Structures are given as structure tokens and as C-alpha cells.
Structure 1
Amino acid sequence: MLPRAIAVGIDTVLDRTVAPGYTRIGPAIRRHLSTWPADPEPDAMKGTVVAVTGATSGLGLATAEGLARLGAEVVLVVRDTDKGARVVREIQGRLPLAELHLARCDVGDLDDVRRFADELDAEHLDVLVHNAGAMPPERTESAQGHELTMALHVLGPVLMTELLRPRLGDARVVMVTSGGMYGQRLRADDPGYLQGDYSPTTAYARSKRAQVELLPVLDQRWGGSGISVHVTHPGWADTPGVVDSLPTFHRVTGPLLRDAEGGADTTVWLAATQPVPTGGMLWHDRRPRPFHLLRRTRTGEDERAQLWDWVRAQLDLPQGP
């Protein structure tokens, strides 16, 4: 085993050079370094209840199955309950003893998030994973008139967590972001993407940047209730979303992409590992990562506060915790 200082150096080089660290090469190397944490115990989630949004395919499905494999009772939060029922049967075919439930919610529709929170048949949740995502090919608005990626990746998850706080207790909240956010700065001045020509990849990355920039605010807001908040990015994974939204990228990088299980590994690990990891950090391959890699994307406190003021206004949230 290499000395820890050398292992840290190798891991950092993989991360900063992006492609080697984000593809399947990253975990293939990192798993052999002394910096790689131990896997959770086989029954680490026994007796816990978790909810995973966007759980019918890709990373969400892999996360739900990974947590069920560790013994959790899993609520799959989906838009399409027919598809969700098929996924439940698929998982139970592999894990006959898995305890799985379906709940319908369109996370981008704030009214539906409110209905979901009212109707959720769970007295408590130990883990809430915000995984639902989309990259519409043209500017699209949610039912409330918000640009869809911001509604789905920021407004919906914040509102859902706020409404479920009484049932979360000492829970872990995990938001799944994207490494693409490293190329974008925060646009608190234009959260609806009303300025300039619309780009699907830029809109997606901006909303993911917003997730990361709000992490300190949300960890402070919810941490007083005992909730720890984490953000993780999966690297480059071979998922239906990548195939549909980024066909050229998928065609070029396909042989090196992680499978969905590899992309979901850190999300599952964050949900299950003990002791509870420190909240307010961005994770990739089981290690904290920097919020910024480029000087031009760095965010000031005023910009972060401006974005949070906008989020609070859209959700009608109180100022305090």
C-alpha cells in the first residue's frame, strides 16, 4: 500500500485532470489507494427508511437498489408509476427480500411536491436522495413558470426537504450534482436563463452549480435540526440520460464510462457509512472535492445570498431556520 501522502497526490491528479478521474479509470485506481474508505457493512441500512427521487433508471435506480441491498426500506419517488412498478419488480427479482414502495412526484412541479409531502406514507426518513434530473433540448418552463432545470434540480429538492423536515430528524440529505458544473459560474442574476441564447448543457450545468453553491446555506439551515447535507457528483456514467441528452459525448466516451452502479457508489456510501460524514461538502469517489477548479467560476458571498433570496422568494420560505 502506498504511503497516504502519495495516495492523496495520485487521487488529486486523477481529479484535476478530469477525464481519468471521472471515467471508470478513477475508481479502478482509487480502490487500491489507502485513501479509499471501507465499504459499508452488508446490513448497514437495516431498519432505515430512505427515499430516492428519479429512481426508475440510471443513477436513481442504482442508488435505490444499492441501498436496498444494504437492508434499507426504500421509497422510489417517480413520475411514472407504471414504469416504477416495473422497476420494483426488476429489483425484487434480484433482491427477493427487498422492501420497496412507490410514491409519485414530479419534482419540478412545486404543487406536486407539496402534494407528495402531504401524502407520503412514512412516519420518518433516515435518508433523502435528490437524484431526479433532466436536460430539456430547449428552454422549458415548469408548471409554476420556472426554467425547468432550476425547478427540478434546485427549487423542488429544497421545497421537498423543507416540507419533510419534521420527518427527517437526524437524517442525511444527498443531492446528486454533475461535474459539468465546474465549467459554469453562478448566475444569480439570471436564474431563469432569460438572457442570451439558451443552451441545454449550459442550463443543466448552471442549475447544478446552483446546487453546490447553496450547499453551505442549506447545511446551516437544516443542520440545526440534526440533518446533514451532502452533494455528490457521479463522474461520467453510462445512463439513459447521457444517451438521450449527450449522444455525441456518449459515442466518443462510451467505452470509458462508468456503469450506473459505479456512478451511484458515493451516493450509496454517503447514505450508509458510519460515522456520519461532515455535512456541507461536495463528494466524488468517496472523498471531499473543491467547489471550484477554475478561477472564473468562483462565487462571492453576495452572489450566493442573491441566489438564496431568489429561492426563498419562489418557495415562500421564512428567513430563519
Structure 2
Amino acid sequence: MSRVLDTVTDRLVIPGYSRLGYQLRKRTWPADDPQPGVLRGGLAVVTGAGSGLGRATALGLARLGAAVVLVVRDEAKGEAARAAIIAEVPAAVVLIRRCDVSSLDSVRRFAGEMLQEFERVDVLVHNAGIMPSERTTTADGHELTFATHVLGPLLLTDLLSSLLAASPDPRVVFVSSGGMYTQRLHADDPEYRDGEYRGATAYARTKRMQVTLVPLLAERYAPVGVHGMHPGWADTPGVAGSLPGFHRLTKGFLRNAEEGADTVVWLAATSPAPRSGRFWHDRRERPTHYLPTTGEKHQDVKTFWSYCTNATGIS
């Protein structure tokens, strides 16, 4: 019955993505999953960790014993996040490193520093997100949302793959969005050059692209576990700033950041490891498509992968 209720609330969207869905599902989860201290001695890297879901994820991983690298553009926000985590977990090891995930040069610099400083990475969480109101290009000439959500994470995963491979149980998690269900894979226009640009649409398109990447990277980097998830509707600074109308209408039943980040932390630390290459919400594997119009053709996936590898220089 609980699985039926879970599926119904998921399909109805509003109850499933809200705090109500989280509270209903949480009642069926074991209290000791993940196990306390399971990440002790490990290293977790979280992008976009200065606030919102990223900071909540870093806090959750620190509670489980991991040393955490907060990857941020704004070091002042990183310092504030670090102070908040230390206040909750006084013994936590929390490091701050600057990286603009939308910049391929910045990603390469950051990855080079990581390779010099550390012998392994156990968890890599791709959380950094953006929703510009107008089409903007990076110094590399790529559309900003695409660069932040797709190219930067792809390149960073590749550059840190040797550190991940050195972990006894490496895991990579992409924080996507339920909004991706509304979009097909735009392999013919990944940079959103055609048509009227809308920030929310660009966001949803690139979140669909992240979900498309997950099984490709799971195969490429096996035995590294690569997972995708969406957090439901969470009350974060990003949502309030980018979608003020939505935030005003839904604020009363939005999840808090820790509830939104719960499945990220679970994917990073639950045992046994979840199946790689899958998509998750509230600790359960979910379909990647609900609409027949969003189904992916094999050739579109190949075209998309080729574009991304060419853009990042991955062989």
C-alpha cells in the first residue's frame, strides 16, 4: 500500500514534490540508513555548496563523517556555509575551494589542485545551478545554463575520475529537477540558440541533459556509481530568487533544504550502493520520462554526447 501511495503522489506532482510527499515517504525509511559514521575517513566534493541544497548536502555528508570540500564561486558564502556546518558538527573537516563550474578553465584549474592535494575522492555531488533571465554566454562561448549544468560537471567528473577510481566505493550524484520531465533532449540545439529564450525552459532542458548523461557516465566510468535525482520542491535561495512567483504561491508547503537534499546524502552513503545509472526521488528509483513527447532517440543521445565531448575536449 505504501508503494501505491508513493506512486500516486509522485504522478500527481504537487503532493509528491512537496513537504507532504517527503513526510509520507520518510515514515517507511529505516532510521539507521545511512549508517552513522559510514563516510568517516572519506572525502566528499559538493559544488554550489554555499547555500541551499548544496550546503544542506555538505552538512548531511559531514554528519556521516566525511571531510567535505565546499566548491563555490563566492568564497564569502563558502565561509558562511563552513561556519554553519561546523556549528552543527564541531569535529567536521570542511574545506573551501573556489571554482566557477560554468568556466572550463576554472574547472581544469580546480581539478588540477584536487589532483595535487588529495589521493582519492569518495563522493562528487554536482549541485551548482543557475537560472539566468536572459541568454548569456560564458568566456568559452557556451550558453551559461548549459555550461553550468552539463559541460562543467561532465569535465569535472572526467578530470577527477582517477581520484574517484581510488575510492573503495566511489559515487557521483547529479542534482537534477522534476522540471526536466517537461522537456525532451534538445540534441539539435543544446546551446538554446533557436527560439525565444526563457530561463526556466533553459533550466529544465539542461536538467533533462543531466539525466541523459547519468547512464552514459555510469557506463564510461564503471565501477564508479553515477546517480541522478531530483529533490522535489525545496525552499532555497535559488528558488526564491529565480522563481519569485512560484515561491510565493508554494512557500507554505515547500520542503526545507535538508529534506530536499536527503536523497543526495542517501545516494552518497547508503549500503549496499544503489544501482548505477538510475534516476531517483525520495530514495526510490523513478522513471526518466512520463510524457511520450520527451522520449529519447538513440541518434539524439549520440549527437548530444558527441557535442558535449567535443566542447569539453574529452576523448
What TM-score, normalized by structure 1, do the two folds share? 0.94
- Are 1:44 and 2:38 an aligned pair? yes
Q: Could you list the runs of 4 or more consecutive aligned residues of structure 1 that deviate by over 4 angstroms after TM superposition?
A: 35-38
Residue of structure 2 equivalent to 1:32: 27
Structure 1 residues 110-259: aligned runs within 5 Å:
110-120=104-114, 121-169=117-165, 170-223=169-222, 226-259=223-256
Contact 2:51–2:77 (8 Å) recurs in 1: no
Q: CA deviation at 1:278?
A: 0.8
- CA-to-aligned-CA distance 1:77-106 (integer Å, 9 cap, x gap): 111112211221121122111111111100
Contact 1:232–1:282 (8 Å) recurs in 2: yes
- Are 1:23 and 2:18 an aligned pair? yes
Specify the code of the residue in structure 1 equivalent to 2:102: G
Contact 2:131–2:242 (8 Å) recurs in 1: yes
- CA-to-aligned-CA distance 1:100-151 (integer Å, 9 cap, x gap): 1111100000000000011122221000000000001110111201011110
Distance 1:8 1:86 in 2: 40
Specify the code of the residue in structure 1 equivalent to 2:275: T
Q: CA deviation at 1:38?
A: 5.3
Specify the code of the residue in structure 1 equivalent to 2:146: M
Residue of structure 2 equivalent to 1:3: none
- Are 1:57 and 2:51 an aligned pair? yes
Specify the code of the residue in structure 1 equivalent to 2:64: L
Specify the code of the residue in structure 1 equivalent to 2:15: P
Contact 1:185–1:298 (8 Å) recurs in 2: yes
Contact 1:53–1:77 (8 Å) recurs in 2: yes
Secondary structure of the equivalent of 1:61?
A: helix
Residue of structure 2 equivalent to 1:274: 271
Structure 2: segments with no counterpart, 5+ residues: none
Structure 1 residues 27-106: aligned runs within 5 Å:
27-33=22-28, 39-106=33-100
Contact 1:36–1:286 (8 Å) recurs in 2: no
Structure 2 CA distance for partners of 1:289 and 1:36, relative to 1, 3 Å = farther
Structure 2 CA distance for partners of 1:178 and 1:36, relative to 1, 3 Å = farther
Specify the code of the residue in structure 1 equivalent to 2:18: T
Structure 1: segments with no counterpart, 5+ residues: 1-5
- CA-to-aligned-CA distance 1:224-263 (integer Å, 9 cap, x gap): xx21100010000000000000000000000000000000
- CA-to-aligned-CA distance 1:15-46 (integer Å, 9 cap, x gap): 1111100000001111224x778521121111
Q: CA deviation at 1:216?
A: 1.6
Distance 1:59 1:310 in 2: 29
Distance 2:218 2:311 in 1: 19
What's the RMSD between the two structures over aligned residues? 1.2
Contact 1:229–1:280 (8 Å) recurs in 2: yes
Secondary structure of the equivalent of 2:95?
A: strand
Contact 1:30–1:36 (8 Å) recurs in 2: no
Structure 1 residues 294-305: aligned runs within 5 Å:
294-305=291-302
Specify the code of the residue in structure 2 equivalent to 1:312: T
Distance 1:117 1:15 in 2: 37
- Higher mean alpha-carbon deviation, 39-48 vs 16-25, is at 39-48
Secondary structure of the equivalent of 2:96?
A: strand
Identity %: 55
Distance 2:72 2:33 in 1: 28
Specify the code of the residue in structure 2 equivalent to 1:90: A
Structure 2 CA distance for partners of 1:15 and 1:317, relative to 1, 3 Å = same
